[in-house]
Amino acid sequence: MRGLLAKKAAQIITALKAVQAGRVFRLLLDVVLCAALFLLYMLSRGNAERIGSTFTPYSLRYYDELSPQSAYQAREWAVKNSDSARFWPTFWSEINAEVESEFSTTGADVIYYSGDESLVWDARYLSGSAPGFIETRACAVSTALAYSLWGNRNVTGMSLSVEGESYTVSGVFEEEKGVALISLGENNEERAWQAAELSCKTYETTIDDAKSFAASSGLGIPDVIVEGESPYFLAKIAANIPPVFLLVCGVFWALRAAAGRYKTTKRVLGFLVLVSIVIMLPALLSSAPQWLIPDRWSDFSFFKRVVDSFAERAADFLAVRPLSRDVVCKTLLIKQTALFFLASVLAVAFAVRHSEKMLYNTHREDKNEE
């Protein structure tokens, strides 16, 4: 008899240990999933911000290069019409050229610019800074180019030569490929330009405003306009969809748990959800590009125009003749897409797992009540 009881007790203890081990495993699985989702969210948010700083509001691309005279006249027009002109142009062009130092020679992507360097390349400086607007004999180099030419990155004040012209290094920025940024100052009279970046004086601008500025200032209608606000907005949306999806699932589970037994709690939760949506909606709309917000919400033809406009912008972005910055932009967008899909898969897996668990618990409670 005692042996039988001992055997039964051992079986119960084994079963309890198995149940406990299962609970520990499920808890660890939840912790791992939550940690992975949080990490992917942080990576996706950081990548979205990088997209926002890499894309400019409007990048006008000209296959027939702009002359220095056209660039100068456009700025003169912007100054004379400062009350109505919504943009100030920064001009740039890119070539692949041999870059020489006293120690070495290597090929690099050389970007000449006139204006705001931050609109040309999203550089994170490790030492020094970009050449000033009026400097014409200064440049900034990437870490990769610094190592190729001098063997280290502490090269501020060193001299290099491009196309027979000598420049002094004013700053070094982090980049895995060889890139040199050379300022030609405001009064460039020799270098033709492939692109013009338009910085906004006001946030209420559209792509039609950019076209109007190009036509009125004498730049002419560009072959392609790359609009940067939309990719940034979509990247932020993609970063926030998985956590918002889990938040919605959590609210649904809470409402379901409160149904039937805690009607007051259910109503309070439902009210709080509606209030949260009302509070968040204006912030979401204010961050959206103008072309995504209808003038009248009753105008259902607006949604077809949005699809057509999105297709046009995507076609322009894919059709543009890629310069180094465009390659960086496309790489960031591919990375954001991969992070979004991975985070979405994990979020759905987490939601399905806990939905099944909740359905099982609800079914068991119903049977107990019967």
Query: Which range, 25-34, 111-120, 321-330, has the best average confidence (pLDDT)?
Result: 111-120
**Cα-Cα end-to-end distance for the chain:** 37
Which residues 6+ apart lie within 8 Å of 97 measured at CB?
107, 108, 110, 162, 163
Which residues 6+ apart lie within 8 Å of 145 measured at CB?
99, 106, 108, 178, 179, 180
206 and 263 housed in the same domain = no
The pTM for the full model equals 0.76
241 and 112 housed in the same domain = no
Q: What is the pLDDT of residues 88-101, one digit of tens each?
A: 899 999 999 999 99
> Which of 279, 223, 243, 214 lies closest to 65 in space, CA to CA?
223
Q: Is residue 323 part of a domain?
A: yes
DSSP letter, residue 200:
E
Residues of the chain with pLDDT > 70: what percent? 74
Residue 90's pLDDT is what? Answer: 92
Q: What is the pLDDT of residues 163-207, one digit of tens each?
A: 889 999 999 999 989 999 999 877 777 889 999 999 876 657 888
pLDDT of 334 higher than 80: yes
Among all chains, which residue has been given the structure tokens 């027939």? 64
Number of domains in the chain: 2
Average confidence (pLDDT) over 132-157: 89
Q: Please give the Cα distance from 206 to 198 (Å, whole number).
A: 12
122 and 92 housed in the same domain = yes
Average confidence (pLDDT) over 265-279: 59
Residue 12's pLDDT is what? Answer: 54
84 and 216 housed in the same domain = yes
Burial of 288 (0-12, 13-18, 19+ CB in 10 A): middle
pLDDT of 227 higher than 60: yes
Q: Please give the Cα distance from 351 to 30 (Å, whole number).
A: 11
81 and 156 housed in the same domain = yes
HEC-encoded secondary structure of 110-135: EEEEECCHHHCCCCCEEEECCCCCCC
205 and 126 housed in the same domain = yes
136 and 267 housed in the same domain = no
Q: Is residue 17 part of a domain?
A: no
Q: Please give the Cα distance from 332 to 320 (Å, whole number).
A: 16
Q: Domain span at residue 108?
A: 65-223
177 and 290 housed in the same domain = no
pLDDT of 20 higher than 70: no
169 and 143 housed in the same domain = yes
Backbone angles phi, psi at 227, to 5 degrees: -95, 125
On average, the pLDDT of the chain sits at 80
pLDDT of 232 higher than 80: yes
277 and 350 housed in the same domain = yes
84 and 44 housed in the same domain = no
